[in-house]
Amino acid sequence: MPIIREVHYECDGRQLVGRLALPDGEGPFAGVLIAHEGPGHDEWQLARADRLAEIGYAAFALDYHGDLTPFADRDLMVARLDEFRADPAAMARIAGAGLDQLLAAPGVDPNRIAAIGHCFGASMVLELGREGLDIKAIVGFHPGLPTARPEAAANIRGKVRMYVGADDPVIPVEHRIDFEKEMRSGGVDWAMHLYGGVGHSFTHPMVDHLNLPGLAFDEEADRHSWQSMLDLFAATIA
């Protein structure tokens, strides 16, 4: 059984709370940093850390909102994300603070680190990669793709894999094209998997309860993207 604990930490003056999940044993363990979706943590997203620990990876689910969540309304959440979009250095700092927690955990091998993000969390881990850190794999599910510093893609050292619903209203075709240009220009080892007929937040089983157009869980895309991620980990950090 994994060892799971709540971790309190700080970045840019904000108190944050993440979840650390460690496999049973002494390690060394490959580590996976996890960045949540835009609205913030919920139990499903925190459980992704537990799920990875069960199969042998040390995992830390970082927090990039802290006491701002739960947001009183969607406009407040959008304003928070817009602040980040305008300041990629702040995104890298807060993601880096989560990475520090993962690297400080007992038994974690600093030479075998991957980072994954869902929705805006993918933007977070991509900005961390643009800092030039030794992250062997960067994975995004229904990911935020735009960046204010596309030229920094040249700093990405690991493999990048993005999993996108072709009918996702949050990720228009223009975002996908710009991301491809960025990855090509930066010489990145990258791939984007498109799922036809699939919308946003396709990995989250509870999203259907929101009844929002273009957001829907898709069991097949969720299963395929998760297994593809594990295959990438097997080739890079296992």
What domains does the chain contain, in order, with CATH numbers? 3-236 (3.40.50.1820)
For the cut 90, the answer to whether the pLDDT of residue 45 exceeds it is: no
For the cut 90, the answer to whether the pLDDT of residue 70 exceeds it is: no
DSSP the chain: --EEEEEEEEETTEEEEEEEEE-SSS--EEEEEEE--TT---HHHHHHHHHHHHTT-EEEE--SSGGGPSPSSHHHHHHHHHHHHT-HHHHHHHHHHHHHHHHHSTTEEEEEEEEEEETHHHHHHHHHHHTT---SEEEEES-----S-GGGGGG--SEEEEEEETT-TTS-HHHHHHHHHHHHHHT--EEEEEETT--BTTT-TTGGGG--TTB---HHHHHHHHHHHHHHHHHHT-
pTM equals 0.97
Mean predicted confidence (pLDDT) in 205-219: 92
For the cut 90, the answer to whether the pLDDT of residue 141 exceeds it is: yes
